[in-house]
């Protein structure tokens, strides 16, 4: 399990944001959802405005898009001539 270096107390549930609390109480990795000065930097990041469109998209997203476009290709109904 990993916590932020600045985590108030990795063993204390109330030292984590609601997300971290849920993850911790279900026994999984809190993924750094620790409260630092009463705020969770990870949630703050998640709630931050999305990156501008000029930012390069991660290759994983491109792969997913390519796979999706193949799946949604329309299938022409059989035509008898
Ligand atoms: Zn959080």
* Domain residue limits at 15: 1-48
CA of 62 to the centre of ligand 1 (A): 27
What local confidence, expressed as pLDDT, does residue 78 receive? 81
Residue 80 in domain: no
List the chain pLDDT tens, one digit each, 81 residues: 889 999 988 888 889 999 999 998 899 999 999 999 889 999 998 888 776 677 666 666 556 555 555 566 677 788 877
User: How far away, in angstroms, is 81 Cα from ligand 1 center?
Assistant: 62
Evaluate whether residue 10 is within a structural domain: yes
Question: Residues lining ligand 1 (ion), CB within 5 A?
Answer: 17, 19, 33, 40, 42-43
> How many structural domains compose the chain?
1
Examine residue 6 and state whether it is found in any structural domain, yes or no: yes
C-alpha distances in Å from residue 72, one per residue of 7, 62, 65, 75, 78: 45, 15, 11, 9, 18
Specify which residues 36 forms β-bridges with: 39
What's the angle, vertex CA 44, arms to CA 47 and CA 48, rounded to 5? 40
Residue 5 counted as domain residue: yes
Whether 30 maps to a domain, the answer reads yes
- Ligand 1 centre and the CA of 36: distance in Å? 10
């Amino acid at each position: 399990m990993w916590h932020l270096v600045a985590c108030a107390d990795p063993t204390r549930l109330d030292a984590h944001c609601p997300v971290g609390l849920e993850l911790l109480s279900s026994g999984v990795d809190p993924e750094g959802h620790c409260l630092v000065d009463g705020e969770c930097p990870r949630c703050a990041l998640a709630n931050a405005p999305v990156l501008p469109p000029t930012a390069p998209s991660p290759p994983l997203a491109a792969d997913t898009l390519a796979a999706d476009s193949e799946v949604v290709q329309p299938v022409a109904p059989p035509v008898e001539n």
